[in-house]
Amino acid sequence: MKQATRFGLLPVAVLAGMILSGCAGDMRQGGQEATAKAETPADAASEYFAVMPEDGRLYVFGDTKNYFGFLAHKEVPLTRTRIGAGPGGRTLVFGILGDDVKKNAPSRGELLYEGKLPQAAGFHGEVFKDDRYYVFGELKDMKDFISFGEVPYSFTDIGAGPNGATLVWVMNKDSIKKGRPTATMERFKSLRAGK
């Protein structure tokens, strides 16, 4: 039995495989956002951070402690490095924790980068690049920015961030309609208050 799709005629088994593997599209589209978030596993990622300095590397963190430590000292105690494996041939440096080493397991940052860990409800992401904090409420928007270096929609607060950095509140075609992302803005402030 064959099913008509926007891709033409495909066997039903192929369509089912595409849906189960996630190839059918982003679950957040088409008004299904609430359903996708309600089904998010307990181990989903609520925070994800990256730093893109001028040295051509991409530093990736799945925890606030390593991220804030790197911002303050430009170093991280434990890392896993993949030379040339990032977007545009960048070297990837993953900040890892002692537990990751003991378990010989990938860090949360690695799992997020590889798409092996889903986004949790209330996701918060940041990329620090060119003395700007790009702040995200959606993992997909953050991954697109890391890959391509551009954002289609944003609100910008010049000089309003830590040490006078500019804050860029990254939006997408759906979220921009809701106005300034107040929940994301509050999360950015609360992370620094608890530092």
Is 18 inside a domain boundary? no
Q: What angle do CA 23, 135, 94 make, to 5 degrees?
A: 70
pTM, two decimal places? 0.76
**Per the domain annotation, does 91 fall within a domain?**
yes
pLDDT at 80 over 50: yes
Residues 6+ apart with CB under 8 A from 97: 63, 66, 78, 107
What is the rounded distance in angstroms from the CA atom of residue 129 to the CA atom of residue 50?
9
Domain presence at residue 17: no
183 located within any domain: yes
d(CA 8, CA 105): 41
pLDDT in tens, 170-185: 999 999 999 999 999 9
pLDDT on residue 193: 87
Residue 177: inside a domain, yes or no?
A: yes
Per-residue pLDDT at 7 exceeds 50: no
Domain holding 181, by residue range, is 44-193
Predicted local distance difference test score (pLDDT) of residue 4: 42
- Tally of structural domains, the chain: 1
74, part of any domain: yes
- pLDDT interval class at 96 (50, 70, 90): very high
